């Protein structure tokens, strides 16, 4: 459902998902009315985004930024698919310059 990474390792934005389900889930998430199935899809999308190969290839990584990336990846894997938990993860990602929306 979520398109694969492009040839440069960048993740595709949610707008490019073909079924329209992800776009509806994102709209519901932003409006804070997403149902459980939509929140699960958002979690999968966030995981897809943060695992993009381009983040591993950052030439400016330090030990600290690599650790933070690893922590973000682990956090989304263990994140409950609920609005508050996903918003908290999203805010942590934004602090690191990772913006899936």
The DSSP output letter for 10 is P
Q: What is the predicted pLDDT for the residue at 67?
A: 95
Summarised one tens digit per residue, pLDDT across range 20-52 is 999 999 999 999 999 999 999 999 999 999 999
Q: Is the pTM of this model over 0.85?
A: yes
Which 8-state DSSP code applies to residue 3?
-
- pLDDT at position 61, please? 82
Tokens of 94: 């934004």
Could you tell me what percentage of the chain is helix, strand and coil, using 3-state DSSP and rounding each to the nearest 5? 60, 0, 40
Query: What tens digit of pLDDT does each residue of 46-97 get?
Result: 999 999 998 888 888 889 999 999 999 999 999 999 999 999 999 999 999 8
How many H helices and E strands in the chain? 5, 0
Q: What pLDDT score was predicted for residue 11? A: 81
Who's near 42: CB < 8 A, 6+ residues apart?
25, 26, 29, 34, 81, 86
- Per domain, the residue ranges of the chain are 14-95
């Amino acid at each position: 459902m979520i398109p694969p990474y492009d040839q440069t390792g960048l993740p595709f934005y949610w707008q490019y998902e073909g079924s329209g389900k992800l776009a509806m889930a994102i709209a519901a998430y932003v409006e804070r009315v997403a149902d459980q199935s939509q929140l699960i899809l958002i979690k999968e999308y966030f995981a897809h985004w943060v695992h993009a190969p381009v983040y591993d290839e950052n030439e400016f990584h330090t030990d600290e930024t690599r650790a933070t990336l690893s922590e973000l990846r682990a956090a989304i894997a263990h994140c409950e698919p609920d609005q508050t938990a996903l918003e908290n993860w999203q805010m942590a990602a934004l602090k690191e310059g990772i913006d899936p929306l």
